[in-house]
Each structure stands twice: as C-alpha cells, then as structure tokens.
Amino acid sequence: MRRVAVLITAILLLLPVATPVLAQCPSEGHTVIMHAPAVAKTSTGELTGVVTEFVITVAPGSGHVYIETWPLAQVDMQASARLAAQVAGRVLGVDMSKYDVFIQVRANTSIIGGPSAGGTMTVGIIAALKGWSVNPKVMMTGMINPDGTIGPVGGILEKASAAHEAGAKLFLIPEGQRVQYVQKTEKKEIGGVIEINTRTTPVDVVKYAKERWGLQVVEVKDIYQAVYYFTGHRIPKPEAPQNVKIDTSFLKEDAEKDYRNTTSYYENVLKALKESNVGYDTYSLLMAALENAGKLLNQSKEAINEGMYYTALSRDFQARIIIRHVDWYLSTNTKEDVQALLFKVRAEINSTEEFVENQTIQGVTMLQAVAAAEERIEDAKSSLEQAWKYYYSGQYWDAIGEAAYAYERAKTALFWTRLGKRFAKGKPISRDVVKVTARDYIDESSLIVAYIESMYGNVLGNDLTDTIEKAQEYYDDGKYSAALFTAMQARVQGEVFLDTLGITNWTVLVDKMNILKEDARTSIGIAEENGITPILAIAYYEFAESFEKLATENKSLDNLQNAMTFYAYAKETANLFLNTRPSRPEGTKTETGTVPQIVIPTETMNTTTVEKPKGGIEYGVLGIVVLVAFLAGLGVGRRL
C-alpha cells in the first residue's frame, strides 16, 4: 500500500493547481460513469444534497485501488473504495490482485459522504469488471459492508432531493431506512414572549419522494439487488441456509461448572464479610454489592434452566467481578497489601498471555477464539494500568476494583483459548491474517466515525473516536487481534447509531432488530456450511436474545439497542476470517422480485451466469463486547 499512498499524496498535492480532467482509461479494461447523491454543508451548517460523479475504471494490474477527488472530500474515500473492490471481487469470484481500480470523484462542492458511496462504487466496479452498462436514471446511497450488505447512511432526504434534481427516476436506499426522522422547530409569539418548540416528525421517504417529485425510492438489502437495479443483470446469490439452529449447548458443562464455582465463591465471601470487623457503613456498602452479585447469580441459574449457557457464563462473569472486589478489599489492610495484589494480577496476565501466544492455531474456529482471547488480554492490561494509577493516587478501593476486573478478564482469555482448542481442526493459520483484517477494519471504522461526526457533530461524545485511537495504538504495538476487535466495536456501534438515529418508535426499532437478527442467523448458517463452527457468533446471538427478552418484558429501548448491537456482533463474527462463501452450481435459484418500471436495457434483462469463485478476500470481523459488573460507588459497570 506504500505505492498507493505515495501516488495519492502526489495527486492531492497537484489538485489545487490542476484543471480537473477525466483520467485516461488504460489500454485494457472498462470504464463506467455513475452519479450518486452526497451531502454537503452550507455556510450556515445545514445539510444539503449534491450530485457526485464517479468515473470507475478497472484494468489488468496488481491489486491497487487509486482514488482522486475534486474538490478534496472532507471524508477520505480510500478505505471505502478498497472495501468496494474487495466485495466486488468476492461477489464475482474474481481475484482482484490481478486488477487495478481507478476511481475519480467529481462534485461541485466539498462533500462529506465518503462511506455512503460504498455501494455505488461496488456496483461500478462490478459493472466495469463485466463490461456491463449502467442505467443513468438510477442512483443509490448506502455503505458497503464486508458481507455485501448495504449499510445505513444519513442525509437520505437531502440525497433524494439531489437525485431528483439530477434527473434520476429510481433512488436506492439501504433496507430499513425508508422512514426518516426530522426535527421541526416552531416559533410562537404570545404577549411579546417567543416560545420555541422542537418536535421530531417521521417522514416516509418512499411516499414523500413519489408525491413531490415522482421519484421512485426502493430499499435494497445487498449488492446483489443493487446490481440488478443498475444493470438488469442478476448475479447468482448464495442462498441463506434453511433452519439454522442457534445452540450453545457446547457450553453447557462450562456454564454449570462456572455457576457452581461462582456460587461457592459468593457464599465464602458473604460469610467472610459477616465475620469481619468492618464498620457499619462499610459493611452496608459491601453487603449491597454482594446482593447485586446474588441477583446476577440468580439470573445465571435462570439462563441455565432456559438453555442459554453463554448468557449464564456472562452473568457469572459479572457477579465474580463484584465478589472478587469485595473479597480483595476485605483481605487488604495496608498499602503494601494492595501493591502485592496488583503484582499478583500482573503475573496472572503475563502467564495467560504466554499461554495464548504459544498456541498453534488450527482452523478458522480456533483463530476466532484465540483472537478474542488476545483482545481480552489487552483489555485486562488496560484495566491493570488504570489500577496502578488509582494506587499511586491513594484511591485503593478503585485500584482493587480495576484489579478484580483485570484478573477476571484474563481468566476469560484462558477460557476462550481452551474453547478454541476444542474446535481446532485443519491446517495451521498465520497470525498475519489477523493483521491484514485489522488494518482494513481500522480504516473502515475510522471512515464511518468521521462520517458521523462530519454530518452530526460530536453527538456521541468522544467515545467512538477514542475507541478508534485505541485500536490504532494496539495495531502500532503489534497487538493485531485487539486492534481488530476494538475497531469492530466502533464500527458496529456507529452503524447501529446511523440505523436508529432519531427513532423512538418501538415497532420501527423492533423491525430493525429483526432484520439484524435474521442477518446474523444467515451468516452463522453460511459459516457452518463452510465447515466452521462460529462459536463467538453463536454466543453473541444468544446474548442478544437475552437482551431482546428483557426489552420485550420491560419495553426498554436501551435493552432493544443492546440486542441490536449484539446481533450485529454475531453477524460480524460469523464472517470473521471466512475467506469464501459457498459457491452454487449453474442454474441455482437467483434473487427475484418486482423491478420498478424504469428504462433498463432490454438486452441485459436475462440472468447472467458468473464465473465460479476462484478465491476470496479475507474479510469479516467483529469487536467483542461483554457486559461486566456494575460497581457504582462500590464499583464501575463496564461493557466492552
């Protein structure tokens, strides 16, 4: 990629003094020209739609993706363009290391819609690879995800307006984003006093665009549907496996044993607290903490009875952090005792790290589990570092709490490594695979976060930006698994934010959750068809179900969003390091549906047979998030 970076730098340096011209098409290859709506900001900070031109050329080469923007985009499109090329290659079964992709982006103003052009660029690359023409009356907005699905974006109303102004007859948007929520501000003057009220109003984009402009708006789920609307060609799509069963029974013995051990630990610490000589205030606080731990253990038992074994393990994990916090607080009397405790935790982390690093990774299932373990080790290190900071500032209670979390987190790294070994099979896999995937996810996640901040400002605080910076630090330190999972956490949370922005309607959110749920099931089924047991994905799917259950019982929007997030994690982990999807023989049933009556070249209306996959792009990824103990006052709640 160094060669690419040098070329891009040279282009950007020349742009301010150059007259924009179309790049010359290489002697071999195909070029397509597409238009897509983007978003720009006016001088008053309002969003407005603008039309962007994409000139996409694919020619024989060595796997590079070159991109030029005019004027300079506020959001770099390089990561999105690179992902678009990878997805196009995988969908067609084409080895993209044998091609170069050239993309020129032209707009009348500086745009902020980099990620939202991912789907359009993917369609363009596919069309150029196949030599297909694209319908100039069709436009689209939507991110491209590693699995080929079209991801959520912002500014859809503004983009619909821009598409209409450019003469589009059909506008494609991501599935689930038909209803947009806008804020309307009303001013009333009563007796010289101005009253300002702001209310959120739902807008059905399909109905609104049709009534106002005669523009047809259609939701698309994936790149297969998008390609058909643009070209009239149907690319055979891998069929979703039927009757996918999500079963965590492989964790049953672990869950039952863990529950017994944690319950025994709870009873011993409870007894120790009652026999201690701590004062009334301290006793009351510690007892309240243990009561919370007891509630978590009850939830664990209920989960076991319901066959939700990963959920049970998670509840035990949360309870154990609280119990260990109380236990270690009771057993430390001096500053030196706390210091010795921190050294003990450091030794545990170091021992665990050595154990994990010495594993020979056999097969994708073990690779996923070990990657998860390595991320947890880095998480444990971060907590221990914070514990030392508390220690040196004399905040011993907080130091012990962080140490308790770090200790238990390291133990989960051991658990996942041993679980991965149970499912080890196949040839050894190099950890360099993780490095490549981590780099892609950091770049893509950074793009999404920058996109959100460019459009909506610092609405999410610094959380996502800090997460990306942390992922980059891990990567720079050679901790590629931790970098991968941390970047994936930011990516998923960013996408869920975009998909739920401004929505408080329960029914709409449940519908969106069900889409994510079905996507997760499909991804798990595809992984299993490839001979992989996606243990992480199955675990997260079940955990999402536990949040869905809580949301249904309590009508809790927070739990509903947690369910959506974990379903998204399940989907991403199922795809993690999965090189190829199962190929289908010729004549396989392909996508069907009602196509809007717009002008699509009649000679391309027949189903097109595409070459069988010859190889795949390493993709996938997921950030691992586990809900941990709530220790507020007595400790701190965390979800990573």
Q: Which residues contact 216 (CB under 8 A, 6 or more apart)?
A: 169, 170, 171, 209, 210, 596, 598
Residue with tokens 């709870």: 266
> Angle of helix 506-529 relative to helix 557-575, nearest 10 degrees?
20
Amino acid identity for residue 341 in this structure: L
Host H or E run for residue 34: strand 30-41
Q: Is 159 a catalytic residue?
A: yes
Cα angle 460, 500, 507; round to 5: 145
Peptide bond into 71 cis (omega under 30): yes
**How far apart, in whole angstroms, are the C-alpha atoms of residue 544 and residue 534?**
15
Instruction: Kindly name the residue from 80, 130, 137, 159 that is annotated as catalytic.
Output: 159
Host H or E run for residue 66: strand 65-70
Candidates 543, 458, 449, 539; CA nearest to 498 is 449
Cα angle 160, 164, 165; round to 5: 115
**How far apart, in whole angstroms, are the C-alpha atoms of residue 258 and residue 315?**
10
Burial (Cβ within 10 Å: 0-12, 13-18, ≥19) of residue 274: exposed
Candidates 449, 450, 444, 442; CA nearest to 484 is 442
Q: Say if CB 509 and CB 472 are below 8 A apart.
A: no
**How far apart, in whole angstroms, are the C-alpha atoms of residue 475 and residue 469?**
10
Lookup: tokens for 215:
């523009």
Indicate which residues carry an active-site annotation: 116, 159
